[in-house]
Amino acid sequence: MTDTQSNAYPSITAIGITGLPEILDGDNLGQMIAEAAQNQGTPLVEGDILVVTQKIVSKAEGMLVSLDTVTPSQFAREYAENADRDPRLIELVLRESQSIVRMDQDRGVLITETKHGFVCANAGIDQSNIPDDDVVCLLPVDPDASARRISSEIQAVAGISPPIIISDTFGRAWREGHVNFAIGVAGMDPLKDYRGTDDANGRILHVTTIAVADELAATAEMITAKAINVPVALIRGMPYQPDAGSTAPLLRERTRDMFR
């Protein structure tokens, strides 16, 4: 466990990383983040965790797709017409998915399981914060690998390889409003296991495995949404369990899931 905390009370600080330019295909995101942190007076230190929004990772990896290049299938065309959506976008959603979880043309809802295993609307494809109206942004092909690469890029310039969470904003079952989830993890265990540990009364806790990577992503959203062009948050003071890291432990196996 790493804990930079020295006060008598626990505390965690989330700091937005500002000053990053528009990210382009091929950019060394790790280096840019480390330098931006340095430039704003909050250089990365041992124990920091970085949460990087999916959009800039996708941009650095060339995951922008012009809709002009997409020929929709008949299935995509028919759904899109009934749902009043762009058939080229629907085609891309289908291509990025391994299964359809819910599809309702009346409401225009298309919730799928992406090839990575994330259950979300429109396979995580979106159009916000992209300069061109006919261009959309796909999720990274392998966000865990993206997270590992960013950590290595930071190691090369800053001498430390912080845990990296790549975050995206999804809806949920049962509740309104979106929150951020971890879609890529490197350098830390995404789950924190309290099973078998004592509670404050010395009783063995029944549950509880906490999805700490998702909670870190949710925390970061509050920072990255506070201002425009703050696509990265640094979380300082949060102990974590070092690990190769992966989102796989966060994804419930289909056979164990009662909600698809």
- Token match 């430039």: residue? 39
Site for a copy of itself in 173-192 (CB under 8 A): 173-181, 190-192
What is the rounded CA–CA span in Å between residue 195 and residue 1? 17
- We find the least distance from the C-beta atom of residue 6 to a copy of itself, in angstroms, to be 13
The answer to whether 209 and 194 are in contact (CB under 8 A) is: yes
- We find the least distance from the C-beta atom of residue 208 to a copy of itself, in angstroms, to be 5
Site for a copy of itself in 17-36 (CB under 8 A): 17-18
Stretch that binds a copy of itself, among 8-16, 23-31, 142-150, 160-168 (CB under 8 A): 8-16
The answer to whether 209 and 223 are in contact (CB under 8 A) is: no
Burial of 244 (0-12, 13-18, 19+ CB in 10 A): exposed
Site for a copy of itself in 141-160 (CB under 8 A): none
Site for a copy of itself in 34-53 (CB under 8 A): 40-42
- We find the least distance from the C-beta atom of residue 64 to a copy of itself, in angstroms, to be 13
- Token match 């959603």: residue? 93
- Interaction between residue 210 and a copy of itself (CB under 8 A): yes
User: Residue type for 131, please?
Assistant: P
Site for a copy of itself in 51-110 (CB under 8 A): 102, 104, 109
One of 6, 68, 227, 255 touching a copy of itself (CB under 8 A):
227
What is the rounded CA–CA span in Å between residue 239 and residue 119? 28
